Chain A
Amino acid sequence: MKKVLACAAILVGSFSLAANYNAQAEKDRLALIKYYEKVFADPAGKSSVYFPYTPEKELKENYIKGIKWKDFVLGSYAYAKGPKEQYLEMIDFPPYLDNIDHGEELYNSNKALKECFPDPAKARAKYPMFDQKKKEVVTLTVAINDCLKSHGQKPWNMKKGDLADVEAYFAAQAKENGLKVNVQIPSKEAEDAYMRGRKYYYSQRGYLKLSCANCHVQGVGKRTRRDYLSPAVGQVAHFPVYRLAWQELGTLERRISGCLVNMGQKPVAPDSKQMRELIYFLSYMSNGLPYQGPDVRK
């Protein structure tokens, strides 16, 4: 009896310890959602608090109010009326269909990819993950190139091209199967990686001294020229994206690099520790949202 009780205690103890690694991240995620929901509860009514420089007429006419957590999967199209209408028209004939087909062809013709990622839908949902053996975060982009290298093949460009197309195929499969973002933090090392990613996201950097959060948390919903800034929650769920500005499909790493350049910094490498941990943090913030990728953005 004592042995059974001891075993049960160990089990309960280890379970609570395991759950604890997610605790901070979960707290952050819920607080971020609560904040966004508050910002978009009634933009015109709260204009002096969240949108002090936006004319009231614009807030009344251009913003959708009462946005809830699941709506954020659409990014800024969740609350920006005009852009949402344009987006809905764009996805009638999405520009990324050829990329999905090409990604499927690449996947089916490459033995290495089939071996490494036997289920394309699950491949999307598995990453980013914390590799307990290597003690590092592995993103989907890094996993694809690691797979190619381990099979004696040349790695692909991590920002666009074949890799983005394969990711588009994986994402489309995940979307079709109704999979949701489900990032786990299984250990202390993983929690440390998450915390570094979190710190990177909120730290001001570059000659403009901006942080990711300046635009996507404190600046969420505000307009920069004709575009509306998107929330951090939901961002990773729709990648890879076909950006009209690029006129092609690109990976999440490419988009983040663009942000870093806009902040006045030389972007870190797509497979660098900083980039991986930033994606780990960002992905956790989208936990529970369905995969929407590939998608189209301005």
Chain B
Amino acid sequence: MKQKLLALLLAFSTMAMYSFASEDLMKEVNKIDVKDACNVQKRGIEKVLETAQKYNPLGVKMGLEFMRHKVTTSEYIDAVKKALKEHKKEVSFQKGEDQKQVFSVEFAAERACKFAVRALQQVKEAEESYRYAIPGDKFTY
């Protein structure tokens, strides 16, 4: 009984902690200037990648992860990490029978960062704008 209670308490506190952390992250992300934060020349590729890795998991969890030509933000991040480890200058993606996509590591890092940050920033933007598209609500025509 005690063990069950402890397990429950632990699960509850972990959930609460995660939820507070997510809230903090959401507040923080809205203050970011994406052009600055994801600028490889200005901040260096490691820092930019770090930013992408910081925000992407929450986007994934919330079902907001971006995807362009079948390549997701997570895949960009993994590819950049791998390229840095192997000292490569390019990353490439082969999706089924589609044409191979090749990018410089810097470009891929920048895209990963922008995608990760923008996915979360859009939440607040949507919150403020979505009703302006609803007929019968704020949409005028």
Contacts and interface: CB of A to CB of B under 8 A. Distances in A.
Contacts of A38: 141
A49 B141 contact: yes
Interface string A271-287: 01010000000000000
Contact of B133 (A31, A34, A211, A268): A211
Interface centre among B67, B68, B115, B137 (most CB of A within 10 A): B67
Contacts of B131: 202
Given A204-B129, A206-B66, A211-B130, A32 B122 contact: no
Interface size class of A (residues with CB under 8 A): 20 to 34
**B-side binding surface: helix, strand, loop or mixed?**
mixed
B130 A203 contact: yes
Contacts of B64: 205, 265
Contacts of A202: 130-131, 133-134
A28 interface: yes
Chain A facing B: main interface SS: helix
A17 to B, nearest CB: 22
A259 to B, nearest CB: 13
A266 B125 contact: no
A214 to B, nearest CB: 8
A266 B130 contact: no
Contacts, number: 78
B131 to A, nearest CB: 7
Interface in A250-298: 261, 264-266, 268, 272, 274
B63 interface: yes
Interface of A: 27-28, 30-32, 34-35, 38, 49-50, 198-199, 202-207, 209, 211, 213-214, 217-218, 261, 264-266, 268, 272, 274
B135 interface: yes
Interface of B: 63-68, 72, 115, 118-119, 122, 125-127, 129-131, 133-137, 139, 141
Contact of B66 (A31, A198, A264, A268): A264
Contact of A266 (B72, B126, B137): B72
A35 B141 contact: yes
A282 to B, nearest CB: 14
Nearest to A36: B135
Contact of A198 (B118, B125, B129, B134): B134
A204 B126 contact: yes
Contact of B122 (A34, A205, A217): A205
Given A31-B136, A32-B135, A266-B72, 16 more contacts: A28-B134, A28-B135, A38-B141, A50-B141, A198-B134, A202-B130, A202-B133, A203-B122, A203-B126, A203-B129, A204-B125, A206-B67, A211-B130, A265-B66, A265-B67, A266-B66
